[in-house]
Chain A
Amino acid sequence: MPKFQILQRMTSRDRRDDEPEKGKGKKNDRDDASVSWRKRKKHFFVLSHSGKPIYSRYGAEHKLAGFTATLQAIISYVENGGDNIRFVRAGKHQVVFLVKGPIYLVCISCTEEPDDALRGQLELLHGQMLVILTKSIDRCFEKNKKFDMTPLLGGTEAVFSSLIHSFSWNPATFLHAYTCLPLAFSTRQAAGAILQDVVESGVLFAMLMCKHKVVSLVGAQKASLHPDDMLLLSNFILSTKSFRTSESFSPICLPRYNPMAFLHAYVHYLEVDTYLVLLSINSDDFYHLKDCRIQIESVLAKSNVLGEVQKSVLDGGLHVEDVPVDSSLRSDSPSPHPGQGRAAIASRIGGPAGLLHFIYRSINLDQYVSSELSSPLNSSRLQKELYRAYQKLYVSMHDRQIGPHKTQFRRDESYVLLCWITPDFELYAAFDPLADKALAIKICNRVCQWVRDLENEIFLFGGSPFSW
C-alpha cells in the first residue's frame, strides 16, 4: 500500500511557482517545473547513489536536485526490498533505470524505443563517463558517500550531448560494430602497413579515422579494441573542439579494454575530418608518439592515402541505386563500385524493388556497412525514424526470451522492414511500404552478394586486431 502512494506522491507533488525562467541557451536555468523541460521527448539523467545530480541532458543539474533525489528514492526504495527497478511505464513515458555501482542512470522517454535499446544507450552513457574518469571513480564514492562528481566532468557537456545525439543517427550505437570508410584495398593496406610499423615500436593501438569511420586500425599483439570503445573514443575526440586546434595528449580510458586504467591518447588532425589516434600505456610517451605521427604523416603523403580518403568522402559510400540487378528487375547496367556511375540514374528514387536503405553487419569482423541515406529518406526526422525502426528490429531479433530469430518481415505504413541473420552476417533492409515480399527477399540476396563482392573495399581485413 505505501509503495503505490509514495510513487504517486512523488510524481504529483505541487511545484513551486516562484522561480522565474531565464531562457538562455540549451543549458539555461530551466528545471523540472518548466513546461519546456517537461515537453522534452527524451531525458537522460546521471546521479549518485545519494541522489546528487551528475548529468542531465536538459536543464542545469543543480536545479534538478529535487528531481534526482526523487529518482534515487525510487531506486533505493526498490533496492531496499532486495530487488532492482528496471523499467516503469507512466502513460506514454517510459522510465528506464540502470544501476552501475554508486552511479545511477535514468532515461525518461516518450519515443517508444524498446526498453532494452534505451538501457543499451544508458550503458554507453556510463561508458562515456568511464572514458573520461575510469571506473576508479567508484572508489571516491566508497571513501565518501557524499562525493560530488559534477566538478570532475566540467567541460564535457558536449561529449555527452553528442553521444546522445548519435543514438538517433549512428547504427554503431546499437549494432556494437564499427564501420570503415570505403577505400581501395591497396590504399587501406598502405595505411595499415605504416600503422603496423608504429605499433611495433611500442604503441598499443594506432587508428586512422575519418569522422566516425575507420580508415585503418592496428593493435598490438593480443590487444583487441571493442567496437563500443571505438565509438566512445571517436565521439570523445569529435565532440571535443580543442583536439582540432593542436596536437593533443590526453589520458583516456577504454572501458571494454580496461575500465580501471587510463591510457594516453595522442590525437592529431591530419585533415579537416581525418585524424590519427595513437594510444600508449605510458604517460611520458608524448614525444615518441609525436615522432610516430610525423613518420605516419610523411608515408601517408607519399602514398596519397589522404587524397584517396578525401575522394572517398566526396564519392560517398554504397548507394541503393547501385545494387546490381539483372535485366528482369531493372534495365540499367549494374555499376559494381561504390560511388560510380550514379549520375546516370540519379533521377530514380530508391533502389530496385523499392529498396530504400540497408545495413549489413559482418559478425566475424565486428564491422558493418550502411548504405547512404538519400531521397526519399532525406530529412533528419525520417532518418531518425528509420534508425529507431532498425533498433526495434535489432532488439526483437536478439530477444533473449523468445529469440534469437533468423528472419523477420514487417510491414507498416512507413516501411517494409526485412531482417536476416545468419552465423556470418546480419542484414537489415528497409523497403517502400508497398514492396513485394518475394521480390524484396530476392533483392536482399543481391545486396548480400554485392557487399561480399565489395568486401575488400568496405571492410578492414588482416590488420584487424580481432584476428589476434
Chain B
Amino acid sequence: MASRRRMLLKVIILGDSGVGKTSLMNQYVNRKFSNQYKATIGADFLTKEIQFEDRLFTLQIWDTAGQERFQSLGVAFYRGADCCVLVYDVNVMKSFENLNNWREEFLIQASPSDPENFPFVVIGNKIDVDNGNSRVVSEKKARAWCASKGNIPYFETSAKEGINVEAAFQCIAKDALKNEPEDEM
C-alpha cells in the first residue's frame, strides 16, 4: 500500500522502578517535569503525534510500572507492541544490569514474530544528576551492550532538562517505518 496514511505505533516503556520512565514520557508528551516521585501503578497511557519523513504517526505509549509486583501484567500488555523502550538510570548499576532481564522478559511475553529484529531502543536517563559525577555506567559500557544485542539504538537523556528525549522517540518512528508490515488480507 503506497498511501501516506497515519501509522499507529504501540510503544512499551520498561525498566526498573525509579529510573524515570514516567518522567521521560511526561517530558516528551507534555514538556513537563516534576521532581516528585509517584510510582506508576500497573500502567499509564499517553498518546503523542509526530511527523517523520512526511508520515504522521500516533504513538500509543504504554508506561508500565517498574515494581516487580506488577510484572504479571506483562503478557497482556506487551501483545502487539511495535517498539520497546528499555530505560535505565546511569547512576544505578543494578538498573543497567537488569536491562537484560527486561529485554528477555519482553521477548518471552510479547513473543514477536521476529525476535532477533524486534525494534528496541535503550535510554540511559538522569545524566543531569550531580553534573554527571555520580554516574556509574559509562556510555561506552552501555553502547557495548546495545551492540551485542543486535545494535540497539542508544540515547542518553535527561528527562529533567529535556535533553535528547525528542531524538529518542524520533528513532522509534524511524524503526517502525523500516519494519512496516504490508497490509494484506
Q: With contacts defined as CB atoms under 8 Å apart, how many contacts are there between chain A and chain B in the complex?
A: 118
CA distance A80 to B181 in the complex (A): 28
Minimum CB–CB distance from A163 to chain B (whole Å) comes to 22
The closest CB in chain A to the CB of B49 belongs to: A62
What bracket does the count of chain B residues touching chain A fall in? 35 or more
Minimum CB–CB distance from B70 to chain A (whole Å) comes to 7
Apart from A62-B8, A148-B183: 8 A-B pairs, beta carbons within 8 A: A2-B42, A2-B70, A6-B43, A9-B42, A73-B73, A73-B76, A73-B77, A79-B76
- List B1-39 residues whose CB lies under 8 Å from chain A: 1, 3, 5-8, 10, 29-31
CA distance A225 to B50 in the complex (A): 47
> Which of B44, B60, B61, B183 neighbours the largest number of chain A CB atoms within 10 Å of its CB?
B60
Chain A CB within 8 A of B80 CB = yes
Which A residues are CB-close (under 8 A) to B6? 62
- Report A33-49 CB contacts with B as 1/0, cut-off 8 Å: 00000000000000011
Minimum CB–CB distance from A223 to chain B (whole Å) comes to 25
CA distance A133 to B185 in the complex (A): 9
In order of increasing CB-CB distance, the 4 nearest A-B pairs are: A50-B80, A76-B76, A6-B42, A145-B80
Which B residues are CB-close (under 8 A) to A148? 7-8, 183
The closest CB in chain B to the CB of A80 belongs to: B76
- Report B154-185 CB contacts with A as 1/0, cut-off 8 Å: 00000000000000000000000000010111
Which B residues are CB-close (under 8 A) to A65? 8, 45, 47, 58, 60
Minimum CB–CB distance from B7 to chain A (whole Å) comes to 7
CA distance A69 to B5 in the complex (A): 21
Which A residues are CB-close (under 8 A) to B60? 51-52, 65-66, 68-69
Please tell me which one of the listed residues B31, B79, B82, B112 contacts residue A49 in the complex, with CB atoms under 8 A apart.
Answer: B79
A16 touches B10 (CB 8 A): no
Which A residues are CB-close (under 8 A) to B7? 148
A5 touches B43 (CB 8 A): no
Which B residues are CB-close (under 8 A) to A80? 72-73, 75-76
Q: A16-B46, A50-B81 are in contact. Are A9 and B41 (CB under 8 A)?
A: yes
Minimum CB–CB distance from A183 to chain B (whole Å) comes to 41
A151 touches B5 (CB 8 A): yes
Which A residues are CB-close (under 8 A) to B88? none
Chain B CB within 8 A of A63 CB = yes
Chain A CB within 8 A of B62 CB = yes
Chain A: how many interface residues by the 8 Å CB criterion? 44
CA distance A51 to B10 in the complex (A): 8
A136-144, A206-214, A391-399, A456-464 - the one binding chain B = A136-144
B185 touches A136 (CB 8 A): yes
CA distance A144 to B10 in the complex (A): 13
Which A residues are CB-close (under 8 A) to B5? 151
For this complex, 15 residue pairs linking A to B, each with C-beta atoms less than 8 Å apart, are: A5-B42, A6-B41, A50-B81, A51-B60, A51-B79, A67-B45, A69-B43, A69-B45, A75-B76, A76-B75, A77-B73, A79-B76, A80-B72, A146-B80, A148-B8
Q: A73-B43, A133-B185 are in contact. Are A48 and B73 (CB under 8 A)?
A: no
Chain B CB within 8 A of A147 CB = yes
A151 touches B42 (CB 8 A): no
B80 touches A51 (CB 8 A): yes
Chain A CB within 8 A of B69 CB = yes
Chain A CB within 8 A of B113 CB = yes
Chain B CB within 8 A of A152 CB = yes
